[in-house]
Amino acid sequence: MAKFRQIRSIAEMLKSPEIEARLAEIGSRVLTGAQSDSNATYVASLRMNAREGTSRVTVQVGAAPIIGMAVEAKRGTLARALGQAGG
Amino acid sequence: MRGIIFPSTTGVLCSVLRAGLTASAVAHAIGVTVQPKLPATKTARMVTVRDDSGPDDGSQTRRRYGFNVWADTPVDAENLALLCMAILRDCADGQPITVTDSFSGPFDVPTETPHNVGGKNLTNYFFACRITARGTNF
């Protein structure tokens, strides 16, 4: 009797713990990079959250709205951290 | 096998924006200073182009860019930012920019001490996008 490999669908993989772990690893590098910003209030507001959407798991790194917008416009801290993390 | 060198795209983007704004007929595109950094003498309408870095895949570089836009009225600042975004969306000609995508913004940047030109406080808008450019053999 032929053996069949058990393979998962793409849809299943996009919500898998392995993908979440990989995204969390990249997100942690982005978070660590952004934490080097000189504004302590901004750094204190940085958060990383993982959530499962309808089609895939996502990991978001962000700061509080007003100060986050100001720092991103002034120094591009998160964009640079993402670039350093290879994103 | 020869190595790959990636182009600097900041100057190209400044040129693209200057040409696009000059060609535009709208009033808020007139007299705009476009530079990588703010000029020492501020003008009523300014755009700065900032390279926020990014990875490459060995043949193309994909870098995030941040664009700060200032104008002496909030409406002009937002419209100028939207016009710059439209120009950038349409600028990929392969020489060397191949793709412009992942646009976000524009949004009004909260500023405690705004620049003042001619007695008017300037409004600051910001947007970002990703610029992909091809490398060449060196």
Q: What is the pLDDT of residues B4-29, one digit of tens each?
A: 999 999 999 999 999 999 999 899 99
- Report residue B105 as tokens: 């913004």
Residue B55 with chain A: CB contacts under 8 Å: 83, 86-87
Given CB atoms, is B38 within the 8 Å cutoff of chain A?
no
Per-residue pLDDT of chain B (138 residues; tens, 9 = 90+): 568 999 999 999 999 999 999 999 899 999 999 999 999 999 999 999 999 998 888 899 999 999 999 999 999 999 999 999 999 999 999 889 999 999 998 999 988 888 999 999 999 999 999 999 999 988
- Residue pointed to by tokens 């669908």: A9
Backbone phi and psi for residue B95, each to the nearest 5 degrees, phi listed first: -125, 70
Query: Phi and psi dihedrals of B43, rounded to 5?
Result: -120, 170
Average pLDDT for A50-79: 92
The mean pLDDT of chain B is: 93
Q: Domain coordinates of chain A in residue numbers?
A: 15-85
Residue B112 neighbours by CB under 8 Å, 6+ apart: none
The CA-based angle A69-B48-A87, given to 5 degrees, is: 55
Please identify which residue in the block is written with the tokens 């390279």: B51
Q: Which residues of B touch A79 (CB under 8 A)?
A: 52-53, 64, 66, 128
- SS3 at position B52: coil
What residues are paired with A58 via a beta bridge?
A51
